[in-house]
Structure 1
Amino acid sequence: MVKITVYQNHDQQFVGFDCLGHAEYSDENDIVCAAVSAMTINCINSIETFTETLFYCDTNEADGMISFRITEKNGTDAQLLLKSLILGFENMESNYEEYIDLIFEEV
């Protein structure tokens, strides 16, 4: 199962997320893992390319881990991109609930 934890500050701004694990939807074509990875990597690349937001990102492919934290300049563009990512996560969770666990935490 992919466990996704989304972090929000006291102002309800998204400040990061962690994805951990593999969906194990299929041995051959794990579309759930592939979709989560593609959405996540695209969001991070978009924040890096289209915003001035500073962030930290760490990955470990073997564990299926991506850790992303905004460190500075958390602007509206980055928030919109994160909201879009979270919308995708929510839709995936509703369709593949036994493979994705989406959690929100205030930090």
Structure 2
Amino acid sequence: MDEELFHRHSGGAANRADGDDIQLDADAPKAIFEPSTGGSATEAIVSLVAQENGCAPLELDPLYDAVDPEALDSICTATPDSSLRLSFDYAGYTVLVDASGIVQLVPADD
């Protein structure tokens, strides 16, 4: 997983618009969720970001300011075995989501 590239998607303000690829860092924070058994990508994202920021999840800005949480969870649940990958900025990170069940954080470019 750490050697794969995540493609940044353009189109929305929450998505990276420069079209570059992101190479993952083996040391970057990551979380696993199980989409095939109802695991939630959004819960994994919020928990991981809160952990990295040393705060409670409710202290973070709402995730829906960056991405539609219901749509994200639906996509990951509907396509758990796909090679679908997406990214968006949230709380100072570029959040990388692999529909197979991996979330990874990369510090967002300033």
- Normalised by the size of structure 1, how large is the TM-score? 0.28
Question: Which structure has the higher relative contact order (CA within 8 Å, separation 6+)?
Answer: 1
Greater helix share, structure number: 1
Greater strand share, structure number: 1
Larger radius of gyration: 1
